[in-house]
């Protein structure tokens, strides 16, 4: 039981570190700082390996109950004090993981927006005309405006 608490506490700390890196990654993406982004990604890979090792250790504790969820295990406990400790750790882990997922979605959204803006700028600069339907399957007006062909 103490081993489980120890593993969950370590996982919680690692996930907090992962969240900090996700926030740093968001800032690096926002500022287009590729060097910083590469360093962050490298740190995230190392952290992911550590998290996977701890997860394997946690699962090894439940060899006899391979498919049991942590919440189900906690609910089966008779020791109320241990139950409360484990529930608190589980809830903190769940919360920080949800925060990480949200920050990752934020990163994904900012990248998608940047890509759309870049595509529009490149389209205008190259004079490439859309013929037919755009990516949303709606007919698009063909524009003859081209920044390279405009008279000054």
- Domain at 100, CATH number: 1.20.58
pLDDT class of 46 with cuts at 50, 70, 90: very high
pLDDT digits (tens, 9 = 90+) for 84-134: 999 999 999 999 999 999 999 999 999 999 889 888 888 888 776 555 555
Label residue 135 by pLDDT band (50, 70, 90): low
Domain range spanning residue 23? Answer: 2-126
The encoded tokens of residue 13 equal 């700390």
Residue 150 counted as domain residue: no
| Centroid of chain to Cα 48 | 12
Looking at the domain assignment, is residue 137 inside a domain? no
- The whole-chain average pLDDT of the chain stands at 86
Is the model's pLDDT at 140 over the cut of 90? no
Q: How many domains does the chain have?
A: 1
- CA–CA gap between residue 36 and residue 144 (Å, rounded): 40
In a domain, 149, yes or no: no
The pLDDT of residue 145 is above 80: no
- Whole-model pTM above 0.85? no
Q: Are the C-beta atoms of residues 26 and 100 closer than 8 Å to each other?
A: no
In contact, 120 and 140? CB cutoff 8 Å: no
Residue 69 inside a domain? The answer is yes
Q: Is residue 135 part of a domain?
A: no
- Domain assignment present for residue 145? The answer is no
């Amino acid at each position: 039981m103490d081993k489980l608490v120890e593993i969950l506490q370590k996982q919680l700390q690692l996930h907090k570190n992962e969240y900090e890196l996700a926030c740093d990654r968001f800032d690096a993406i926002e500022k287009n700082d590729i060097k910083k982004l590469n360093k962050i990604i490298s740190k995230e890979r190392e952290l992911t390996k550590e998290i996977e090792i701890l997860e394997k250790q946690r699962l090894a504790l439940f060899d006899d109950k391979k498919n049991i969820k942590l919440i189900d295990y906690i609910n089966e406990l008779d020791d109320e004090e241990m139950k409360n400790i484990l529930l608190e750790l589980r809830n903190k882990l769940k919360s920080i993981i949800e925060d990480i997922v949200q920050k990752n979605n934020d990163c994904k959204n900012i990248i998608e927006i940047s890509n759309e803006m870049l595509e529009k700028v490149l389209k205008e600069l190259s004079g490439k005309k859309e013929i037919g339907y755009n990516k949303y399957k709606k007919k698009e007006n063909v524009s003859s405006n081209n920044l390279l062909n405009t008279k000054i």
